[in-house]
Structures are given as structure tokens and as C-alpha cells.
A and B are shown apart, each in its own frame.
Chain A
């Protein structure tokens, strides 16, 4: 939770495993986004590399983008819950807190408030990353109430439209008629309107997307984090297919994401006027710094 945690005691550096030495020497800690970030992925030691996700998992890819987009990884905490996603999130070189199923946004509320009291001069970013089940079904009340209270942290929903980790049950985010292994008759109800719920509940920045464009995805994540620091809750609803439960052949996972980007996950961005003003300032400042 500070840059000092990433600096080994000099005498112990030769006893650290290679992975950690590389993170210290070539990792993104304390560096500018232009030096590391999504545009340079593969050229530096990334925060999450090995993971136990399935071959072709689009969620694992998006999680890599999330971690490559962090403005201040040394001052970030992620909070997750049960599901496929946390297997990769918990392996990232960023402090991770595992919430009981669904309570990640309640925990994030407390942690955000505690950070603001404990470190009034240092911006700490809190990000909850959970699946559609953890966020919109079982964690629904805690997600909504965190938004209603205007808690200043970022919520990212990895929507694979199914309970992929437990064998393919329908979730609130599955589309109507979806036939899954554990719902063989097809789902009877509509997909929940997560984006509209977030806007109604008071999120200042909301994005729905299928993350096929890395830079666009990174921009949305960074905007969500910047807005959460200053203004209020932010929400990203990202399509991260489950190629196992939806039987998408691995080579077609990207094609499926592209089709979603034209369909029900077409890019939508909502921001309040205050958020718009903030982005104008933040992004102009960054351009000036780069030039």
C-alpha cells in the first residue's frame, strides 16, 4: 500500500524469487502510465501473469487490462468475491481482499472511508471486481446501497452471463431464453438493466462495453478510477464471456466479443457534468505532461 512495500531490503534482494526481483526492477510501480500501461504490455513485468483460468478465457484477458490500466498500483486495493475472476485477481501483485460472497461493495465502503481517515494526504484507490452473480444477484443489495450512499470507489462487473464457476446456472444477467447446463428449459426473465440501475443509484460515471479495444477499455477504467477519487461511485459493466459454459471455441472468443460489441454490449458511456469537467482537466494535464 505504498511504494516502500515494493522496495526490498538491499541485503535480501539476492534471496528474493526472480518474479519479485523483476517486479521491483521492471514492474509498473511508481512509473507513469505512458512508460508502462496497456500500450506497453509485454515490455514490462505485468502485475498479473500466470493464472489458473481456462484456455481462451476472456475474463482473464480483461483482468490483465484492468491491472495494466491502474493509475497507481502501489496505492490500490482490489476487493473480489467467489467466482472465476478472483482466481486471477488474487494472484496480482496488488493487495487483494476476498469478501464473503456478494459483500465486496460493503467491504469497499468501509475500506475507502478508513483510507480517507488514515491517509488524508494520499489518494488510495479501491476497486471491486466481481462477476455478475456476486455483483447483481447475491451482492445486489450491497452493491446498490454502496452506490446510493455515494461511496467513492470503482465497481467493475465481469459479466459472463452465467454462474460459470459452479457449473452453468442462470444469473440475473443471463439473457431471456438462455439455455444453460443447469437451466435446461431456458431462462424465463429478462437480463437485468445494470447500467440503468447504476445511473439511477447515483453513479457519476458508468460504462457498458465489450472490451475488444484495449486502449478504449483502459481509458474507461482510468476514467472510472479518477472520477471515483473525486466525485462518487463509478461502474463498469464489461462483457467477459465464459467460453466453457457458452461452448465458444477458443479461437472464436474474440469474434464473439466483437459481435457483442455490435450487439447488446455496444459501447455506452454515461457521465455527469462534473465528471465531464474532471476528465477534461485530467486528460488535458496528462497530454501536457507527455508533450
Chain B
């Protein structure tokens, strides 16, 4: 099989996959390196990449992060199940598509307008996009192929994406669980011993125990929380 779409970096302003002759796969099939293949073949290759490459990461998009439809919870639970079966897997969300100025927190989130920052900073070599609206997924996947050495898997609820190394179409909760089973199967074939572990929570969330803070922790603002001389504060929150 000749690989039409390969892991980057292919350089600034890469030729788009459709212009290289890559067509979206028909129903029941998938895309692997730009070629139409059986779904299982694409899933197995993606599973191998996620299990063997550095810092595998799942990027859930707004369609699976927000509880906007009845079936979202089921799909989200399946995604977490999938993540828990990949050793050292992280979850970095794409909660919306707003540009982030002056700077994005690359450890905490990914943005479609500059996804390469998150991927390069976290040294991610294999990733899965799921729940991202197609027009932003196309943009993101092409930018990643252009500027990073990252294997991309697109799990799309619609027709898939030509720019991804592995693209699986019509993905719903059951398909995510099928991919999880294939990951376990490939993991066993590769002889990787692993106990199911949930990915770590978002690093931007506060770790402090607010109850244990003292006025000195507030630094130059401590005068704002300390009573003045002669002032007797009775009301407390």
C-alpha cells in the first residue's frame, strides 16, 4: 500500500489531501494513509500508533464535551473508557474554537487555530480527534500534518477526514468501544502489560486546599483580607 498521507512535518502550506487524489471513504470503510481500507485495518494501525508512539493523547471536541444532546453522555463515557486502556494517555480538550490571545495554555487545552503549539509543547506523537466539527477538524489536521511529527486519528461522526493518517467515519459510542477492544487486542499482541487507568485530570485545575491558606499566602494583597486596627469583623462568608 502506497502511503499518500504520511506523518509530517511536510512543510509550510502542504498540498491538501483531496488535491493529492485522496477521496473520502464510502460507508463501512475507512481511510488509512489516504487509501480506502477496511475499518478494522485502519483501527489496528491507529491502535498500534497510539500504543507505541510517545505521549498518546485524545483531543475531545465541543460535540462530546458539552451535554447538548441526549446521546452525548454515552459517547463521552466510551471515550473515557478508550483513554483508560491506552498506557500514558492524556486528554487535552478543545472546548470551543475561540482564538486564544495573548497565549494559549498548551498543557490545558488545544485550539484549532494553532494546534501545533499544544502538540509540539507536549511532544505528542499520536493523537485522536473526536467530537470536533468537521470544518475545524480539516483545518486542524492539515496544520498538524504540516508542522508536526504526529500521527493523527480522526474519529468522525460524519464522513471522515482526508488529512488524517487514519480516518474512521460514522463513529458513535459503539464504534468507540469497538476501537477500545481493538486497542486491548493489539496491546496484548504487542505484549504490553497494563492496568486500566484513567487519564490525569486537567493540569490547569486548582490543586490548592483553600481551607489551609494563611494571610501570608496572599502576599501583597493580604491587607485586603486582614482587619484594620480597631475594626471588628463579625460577618463571614
Contact = CB atoms under 8 A, between A and B. Distances in A.
B204 interface: yes
Nearest to B100: A91
A4 B68 contact: yes
B201 A14 contact: yes
A40 B126 CA distance: 45
Contact of B93 (A4, A12, A51, A52): A12
B221 interface: no
Contacts of B76: 9, 11-12
Contacts of B199: 15
B191 interface: no
A17 B72 contact: no
B64 A15 contact: no
A5 interface: yes
A52 B101 contact: yes
B101 A16 contact: no
B101 to A, nearest CB: 4
B99 interface: yes
A96 B97 CA distance: 10
A45 to B, nearest CB: 14
A10 B76 CA distance: 9
A90 B66 contact: no
B101 A17 contact: no
Given A7-B67, A9-B65, A9-B72, A96 B98 contact: yes
A16 B206 contact: no
Interface in B59-107: 60, 62, 64-69, 72-73, 76-77, 80, 91, 93, 95-96, 98-102, 105
B202 A17 contact: yes
Contacts of A20: 95
Contacts of B96: 93
Contacts of A96: 98
Interface residues of B, number: 31
A4 B95 CA distance: 14
Interface in B116-156: none
Contacts of A5: 62, 66, 68
B109 interface: yes
B236 interface: no
B212 to A, nearest CB: 19
A91 B204 contact: no
A6 B69 CA distance: 12
Given A11-B77, A90-B99, A91-B98, A17 B93 contact: yes
A75 to B, nearest CB: 14
A12 B64 CA distance: 9
Given A52-B101, A90-B98, A96-B98, A15 B201 contact: yes
Contact of A9 (B64, B101, B109, B206): B64
B62, B64, B68, B77: residue with the most chain A Cβ atoms closer than 10 Å: B68
A2 B69 CA distance: 11
Contacts of A93: 96, 98
A4 B204 CA distance: 23
Nearest to A94: B98
Contacts of B201: 14-15
A92 B100 CA distance: 10
Contacts of A18: 108, 202, 204-206
Contacts of B80: 11-12
A16 B95 contact: yes
Nearest to A53: B101
Nearest to A9: B76
A37 B109 CA distance: 28
15 contacts: A4-B68, A7-B67, A7-B68, A9-B66, A9-B73, A9-B76, A11-B73, A11-B76, A14-B201, A15-B201, A16-B93, A18-B108, A87-B101, A91-B99, A91-B100
Report the 5 A-B pairs with minimum CB-CB distance, sorted nearest first.
A52-B101, A17-B108, A14-B201, A18-B204, A9-B76
